[in-house]
Amino acid sequence: MSIARNQEKLAETDLENEKFQLAVRTAQSYFDLVTLINLRKSEEVNLQRAQSIRNIIRASVLNGLKPGADTSIANAEVSKAKIALIDAQNNEQMQRNFLAALVGLPNGNSINPDTAFLRKLPPQTVADGNTDNNPVINYYKQREALSAADEVFVRRTYLPRISLLGEAWGRGSGISPESGNAVSSSFSDGTNLSRFNYAIGIGAVFNISDYPRMSAQANAIRYQTLGLQQETKTEKLELQTQMSNADNQYASSYNKALESPVLVSAAASAYNQMLAMYNSGLINLTDLAQALYNLNYAETQNSISYDNAWKALLFKAIPTGDLNVLLKQL
């Protein structure tokens, strides 16, 4: 294959690798946005709970059932919830804009991602793919092919140059031997070719003084090709390591996601019990605020753990170079 064709193939594989890397970044950004949307919703619910508690406390304080200090504590909890919500809204908007930039939109306000898939988990086991199909491996292999083609080209330049030479000529005459050497006065009889001859030869040119330079240049390219081959092997090992780490991360993230609903259920039950005990005067507001914090933490961790499980599946797909491993599960 010519050097030009190898250069074209290298550009094609480089383009395919860039497209794949962009798809990976887009998928990661999409998962992050979905998680931030769910976190913002959790903060909205948390603010509603804090406001409901404050309303209950205000009524109790007005009726002399609770100390006035509880109102200040409740106001502080509402303010904390509002600040957390503002931060969540800001993070969501920034992520929307980042995703919009990746997909070529002017801003993220027009992006409405589907968040329903985060309510379920991907399959517990997913078959591993082949890292040889990763676009970066194809790019590395094509670099090897181009370097090898360069070496062949350089070595051929100092081969002898063979030339095939040929020549033919003819002449005309106004004398006609067939008619007793009669002389014709016609112009056309004198210009028509009547006698022919030819010569054929082969020539070879070899620049002996240029051989050492070209030989050294070809050897340098050969060593460069060997270096590229080692880089390809190193990249394959790195992808295999990524695959192994992705397997471990997927198993860990999946198990955490299985446990997170249990945490939410327990935290919600504890919060409801604490709220009932506070209304009965058995605990103080600090204990109730801690229960509220624990419930909010459990809900946010639930969203994060589900997102991490899906991202771990994405990380399993990256070394294979095939995002269909992920897309088939959505």
Q: What is the pLDDT of residues 94-121, one digit of tens each?
A: 999 999 888 888 777 778 887 777 778 8
Q: Which one is predicted more confidently, 185 or 147?
A: 147
Tell me the domains of the chain and their CATH numbers: 3-159+216-327 (1.20.1600.10), 160-205 (no CATH)
Locus of tokens 């599946």: 313
pLDDT attached to residue 279: 83
pLDDT attached to residue 1: 56
Q: Which of 257, 274, 157, 266 is nearest to 207 (CA)?
A: 157
Q: What is the pLDDT of residues 297-308, one digit of tens each?
A: 999 999 899 989
Q: What is the pLDDT of residues 211-264, one digit of tens each?
A: 777 778 888 888 888 898 999 999 999 998 988 898 899 899 999 999 999 999
- Burial category of 306 from C-beta neighbours within 10 Å (exposed 0-12, middle 13-18, buried 19 and up): buried
Q: How confident is the model at residue 177 (pLDDT cuts 50, 70, 90)?
A: low
pLDDT attached to residue 45: 92
Q: What is the mean pLDDT of residues 311-330?
A: 84
Assign 120 to helix, strand or coil: coil
Q: Which one is predicted more confidently, 69 or 11?
A: 11
As given in the structure block, the two tokens for residue 65 are 């059932």
Q: How confident is the model at residue 186 (pLDDT cuts 50, 70, 90)?
A: low
